[in-house]
Amino acid sequence: MEMKKYIPADVPIGKREEFLKNFLEITNNTGRLMLFAGDQKIEHLNNDFYGDGIAEDDNSPEHLFKIAANAKISVFATQFGLITRYANLYPDVPYLIKLNSKTNIIPYSAKDPYSKQMVDMKDVIEFKNDMGINIKGVGYTVYLGSEYEREMLSEAAKIVNAAHKNAMIAVLWMYPKGKFIKDEHDPHLIAGAAGVATCLGADFAKVKVPLKNGEFKPELLKEAVQAAGNTGILCEGGKKIDEEAFLKELYEQIHIGGARGNGTGRNIHQRELNEAIKMANAIYAITCENKTLEDALKILRSQK
């Protein structure tokens, strides 16, 4: 079967069936990932959850779990601790544990970032196996070009390997940052970052949207998609924008640019529950159900 090419060689032979089942389930047999990103409570403090243009629902952390439990998603990515607070109430959500996070209090211009692993993989495995939590994978951010790059490369490589040994997928957030990064949206730099994710063994790499003269064109993704080989490229969702524009861009990222999914947070959870669920379902339709943009817009505008 063609999807077997996505089984990395560090998955033990006795776990390959489990890995493949896991991979096919979360990608709905497409090899594409709809990652619902919910790690912003540490990354951006309360800015993404409370304020103008944000639904009141969003200030409760349970909002994220309600969306994850009721919408179609591949995985809900958030911190270990947050999962522990609500997983007993939402046991069926497919979780992806984001293993590192930092606040945005210190600006990048003042200090190169190092987002450190917060929970050991042995504790993740124990949580998954002994408490029976539905954990599908793990995630980690690497800030390339930071003076602490080496710590993150080293943590990332070990995390990916440990995930694979336990039949879990590994997603790396690959973000060039620091004093020597001139343009973090440069398509060539993004392709480089994507290639690093492949060299770290990642199943998926979440990257910045490539821009040329400040504008996105799906063709700009191609260098990165190719450089990443069989590691799938996910574009980050970024700030909340117009729904239709968002879905069109997503469709083109996948069908023109070759992206293998999307990591979206604010564009989903800043809406009230029903709207958030519909937005997630529309994104999932394009990403994992091979639906057209029109199909997706219908889902978005449906009454239920």
- Within 10-29, the residues that bind a copy of itself by CB under 8 A are 10, 12-13
285 HSE (CA, 13 A, CB side): 18
Instruction: Pick the stretch among 69-77, 172-180, 246-254, 295-303 that binds a copy of itself (CB under 8 A).
Output: 172-180
Instruction: Pick the stretch among 186-194, 244-252, 270-278, 289-297 that binds a copy of itself (CB under 8 A).
Output: 186-194
CB nearer a copy of itself, residue 37 or residue 247: 37
**Cα-flanking dihedrals φ and ψ of residue 170, to 5°?**
-130, 130
Say if CB 73 and CB 37 are below 8 A apart: no
* Nearest-approach distance from CB 80 to a copy of itself, in angstroms: 6
* Nearest-approach distance from CB 149 to a copy of itself, in angstroms: 6
Please list every residue from 97 through 156 that binds a copy of itself, using CB under 8 A.
Answer: 101-103, 105-107, 110-111, 114-120, 123, 127, 130-133, 144-145, 147, 149-151, 153-154, 156
Please list every residue from 54 through 73 that binds a copy of itself, using CB under 8 A.
Answer: 59-62
- Residues 181, 185, 191, 193, Cα dihedral to 10°: 50
Q: How far apart are the first and last CA of the chain?
A: 37
Sole binder of a copy of itself in the list 89, 129, 242, 301 (CB under 8 A):
89
Catalytic residue (one of 206, 208, 240, 291):
206
Please indicate whether residue 304 is annotated as part of the active site.
Answer: no
* Nearest to 225, CA basis, from 251, 256, 182: 256
* Nearest-approach distance from CB 285 to a copy of itself, in angstroms: 29
Please indicate whether residue 251 is annotated as part of the active site.
Answer: no
Instruction: Pick the stretch among 178-186, 247-255, 275-283, 287-295 that binds a copy of itself (CB under 8 A).
Output: 178-186
Q: 156 Cβ partners below 8 Å, 6+ apart? A: 140, 142, 172, 200, 202
- In this structure, the number of other CB atoms found within 10 A of the CB of residue 131 comes to 12
**Cα-flanking dihedrals φ and ψ of residue 125, to 5°?**
-65, -45
Please list every residue from 210 through 239 that binds a copy of itself, using CB under 8 A.
Answer: 223, 226-231
Q: Which two tokens stand for residue 36?
A: 């619902």
Say if CB 36 and CB 76 are below 8 A apart: yes
| 69 CB burial (10 A radius; 0-12, 13-18, 19+) | middle
Say how far apart CA 256 and CA 276 lie, in whole Å. Answer: 26
Say if CB 273 and CB 66 are below 8 A apart: yes
Three-state SS at 160? helix
Sole binder of a copy of itself in the list 164, 240, 269, 291 (CB under 8 A):
164
Q: Which residue has the tokens 């290639």?
A: 195
CB nearer a copy of itself, residue 58 or residue 249: 58
Instruction: Pick the stretch among 7-15, 18-26, 272-280, 292-300 that binds a copy of itself (CB under 8 A).
Output: 7-15
Site size toward a copy of itself, by CB under 8 A:
91
Sole binder of a copy of itself in the list 201, 210, 232, 237 (CB under 8 A):
201
* Nearest-approach distance from CB 291 to a copy of itself, in angstroms: 29
* Nearest-approach distance from CB 272 to a copy of itself, in angstroms: 15
Sole binder of a copy of itself in the list 3, 25, 29, 47 (CB under 8 A):
47
Which residues participate in catalysis according to the annotation?
Answer: 175, 206
